Amino acid sequence: LASRDFHPENTVISINGVNIGGGELVIMGGPCAVESATQIDEIAALVKAAGAQVLRGGAFKPRTGPYSFQGTGVEGLIMMAEAGKKHDLLTITEVMTPEYVDICAEYADILQVGTRNMQNFDLLRKLGTCGKPVLLKRGFSSTYDEFLNAAEYILAGGNPNVMLCERGIRTFETYTRNTLDLSAIPVLQQLSHLPVISDPSHGTGRRELVVPMTKASVAAGADGLIIEMHTDPDNSMTGDGVQSLFPDQFADLLKDLELLAPAV
Ligand code: PEP
Ligand code: MN
């Protein structure tokens, strides 16, 4: 079902007038984690003002260590849904377990599967029947074939609205947090009809690299971007402040993309 051989036309995912995969560049921006109602409201206003269409924010956080901040949970989901409604933005949030799919689907417009859960097959099966579009992140050590097979689980369950997200893979290089595999963008678009989204924030782990790698992703043909932005990145509750853009950088980047888009 994911293969272009059996489905030559691009899949376009339409949510409240936003078309993902239809040729318009879709931008998802926001903090790594929903921290408080004020934080997500302030950031949503900035995301909207910059011209993005989707507010990102994790309520359930997949942390490497069990003693790190684990997210604001259902309260965070509610805070983000309110901010999205108030600022007229779609919302995307990560779901980590099958039990939480229904509640996440109730509050968010798009459900995200994190890199660590790409092969959580029970979760993928449950997402096949959740009724909401899914952004599936590539496992940080997964091949394209494994990635497309993971998408296949969701499609096979009856959900045709799946986006593929390249978020960086593990290589021998340690200067960057991950290595953003830009080739994934055209390769996945050749192999599949599903929209391809790039995540230069997790893909590099370094704020100063997010702007150039966003532009490179657009040049490579990405259908959209998911970018971390925070009003106070030095005090963010996850370690991802170091890769979060400041609001001004985010707004300037989106202005640059408007100039870039017609040229590529
Ligand atoms: C995130 O989007 O904040 C996140 C945890 O992403 P990933 O699964 O790519 O690490
Ligand atoms: Mn993050």
The pLDDT tens digits of the residues spanning 136-167 come to 999 999 999 999 999 999 999 999 999 999 99
pLDDT of residue 261: 58
Residue 177 three-state SS: coil
- Cα–Cα distances (Å) from 29 to 128, 151, 175, in that order, read 25, 23, 24
- Ligand 1: which residue has its CA nearest to atom 8? 114
How does residue 192 score in pLDDT terms, banded at 50, 70 and 90? very high
Contact between 116 and 62 under an 8 Å Cβ cutoff? The reply is yes
Could you tell me the distance, in angstroms and rounded to a whole number, from the CA of residue 223 to the centre of ligand 2?
Answer: 20
What is the mean pLDDT of the segment spanning 167-191? Answer: 98
Atom of ligand 1 nearest to the CA of 117: 8
Contact between 33 and 61 under an 8 Å Cβ cutoff? The reply is yes
Residue 222: count of CB within 10 angstroms of its CB: 26
pLDDT of residue 247: 98
pLDDT of residue 264: 41
Identify the residue whose tokens are 């490579």: 220
Per-residue pLDDT tens over the stretch 60-79: 999 999 999 999 999 999 99
Is the pLDDT at 122 greater than 70? The verdict is yes
Per-residue pLDDT tens over the stretch 210-263: 999 999 999 999 999 999 999 999 999 999 999 999 999 999 999 999 876 544
Could you tell me the distance, in angstroms and rounded to a whole number, from the CA of residue 6 to the centre of ligand 2?
Answer: 35
Could you tell me the distance, in angstroms and rounded to a whole number, from the CA of residue 7 to the centre of ligand 2?
Answer: 33
- Kindly state the helix (H) or strand (E) to which residue 74 belongs, with its residue range: helix 73-86
Q: Is the dihedral of CA 41, 14, 94, 139 positive or negative?
A: negative
CA angle in degrees (0–180, nearest 5) for 149-117-246? 115
- Ligand 1: which residue has its CA nearest to atom 6? 114
Could you tell me the distance, in angstroms and rounded to a whole number, from the CA of residue 57 to the centre of ligand 1?
Answer: 10
Determine the Cα–Cα distance for residues 217 and 100; give it in Å rounded to an integer.
32
Which ligand is nearest the CA of 199, by number?
A: 1
Determine the Cα–Cα distance for residues 193 and 2; give it in Å rounded to an integer.
7
Single-letter code of the amino acid located at 94: E
Determine the Cα–Cα distance for residues 261 and 248; give it in Å rounded to an integer.
20
Per-residue pLDDT tens over the stretch 12-47: 999 999 999 999 999 999 999 999 999 999 999 999
Residue list, CB under 5 A from ion ligand 2: 32, 240
Q: Residues near ligand 1 with C-beta < 6 Å?
A: 32, 58, 62, 114-116, 137, 167, 202
Q: Is the dihedral of CA 17, 23, 24, 29 positive or negative?
A: positive
CA angle in degrees (0–180, nearest 5) for 186-187-193? 80
- Ligand 1: which residue has its CA nearest to atom 2? 32
